[in-house]
Amino acid sequence: MRDAGSLDVQVSEEAERKARKLFLGSLVLSVLIVVHIVYLAERGGGLLATISTFLPAVLLWSLAMTGYAFYMLYSIAEQRAARLSKAFTDFSTGVFTLAYLKSCLLQEHKRAQELGTFAAVLYVDMVNLERVNRDFGHAVGDIVLKAVAQVIEGNVRRGDIVGRVGGDEFLVIMPETTAEEAQGVVQGIRRIIKAYRLDLGKRGVIDFLGCKTGLAIFPAEGASPEDLVAAAREKLDGSSSAK
């Protein structure tokens, strides 16, 4: 039995094929009509003049079909892009999924090898999120987790890739980055997470978050993507920025 996702893909592909045929067919028809109208206009004559008055209406219909088909193709492309984005995005946090992180890590590792450049992997482990879940409930914990993910994503450099490893752990891939450059990103993330504050009124204030971080640099601290991640995780510093 085929699943709904597979069926949706097949329906989308069939709709795209039909829209593409309609687009090409109506476009060709429009071009032929234009050529014929020009020909009739040059020839003139009674019957030909009568035909020429009818053809513009057909041309208008053909152009409308071309526009409709183009709109359909554009809509299908947007839907496909949205599905891909959804497949690569962690629903709870809005950052990338672990599966996408792995593919990016392989790609960036290969590129660093070929170009002979540095690359950095940063492991971020939240501190005190369990306390949030315990004292304020998992619904608030989910809000805080998403906020922290967005904080991390907003404090990396353009081109850096942020994803969720699982639970309250995140990974940041930093292409073409030295240890000194990466340390600046690390300090910024630690500082902003420490400054995070959520006022829940009578329920209290969440201002006690922190994080542990581990940083590994290619090629010195890992010859493979797996080694880099393992090295970064092993280097989680144990000293949080929590209050």
| Nearest to 209, CA basis, from 140, 111, 120 | 140
pLDDT reported for residue 55: 67
Mean residue pLDDT of the chain comes to 81
**In this structure, is the dihedral angle defined by the CA atoms of residues 73, 79, 84 and 85, taken in order, positive or negative?**
positive
pLDDT reported for residue 79: 66
Between 223 and 8, residue with greater pLDDT: 223
Neighbours of 224 (CB within 10 A): 13
pLDDT reported for residue 124: 96
pLDDT at 69 over 90: no
Residue range 13-21: average pLDDT?
71
CA distance linking residue 220 with residue 209, whole number of Å: 32
Collapse the DSSP code of 18 into the 3-class scheme (helix H, G, I; strand E, B; otherwise coil) and give the result: helix
pLDDT reported for residue 103: 87
- Residue 54 pLDDT level (bands cut at 50, 70, 90): low
Amino acid type, 166: G
pLDDT at 239 over 60: no
pLDDT at 7 over 60: no
CATH number (1.20.1250.20, 3.10.450.50, 3.30.70.270, 3.40.50.2300) of 98-234 reads: 3.30.70.270
Residue range 164-179: average pLDDT?
92
CA distance linking residue 213 with residue 174, whole number of Å: 14
SS3 content of the chain, % helix, strand, coil (to 5): 65, 15, 20
Neighbours of 119 (CB within 10 A): 25
CA distance linking residue 219 with residue 86, whole number of Å: 32
Number of residues that this document lists for the chain: 243
Percent of the residues in the chain that have a pLDDT greater than 90, as a whole number: 41
Residue linked to tokens 């907003």: 154
pLDDT reported for residue 28: 77
Q: Tens digit of pLDDT for each residue in 125-146?
A: 999 999 999 999 999 999 999 9
pLDDT reported for residue 171: 95
Of 31-45, 162-176, 178-192, 210-224, which gets the smallest average pLDDT?
31-45
Domain layout of the chain by residue ranges? 4-87, 98-234
pLDDT at 2 over 80: no
pTM tops 0.75:
no
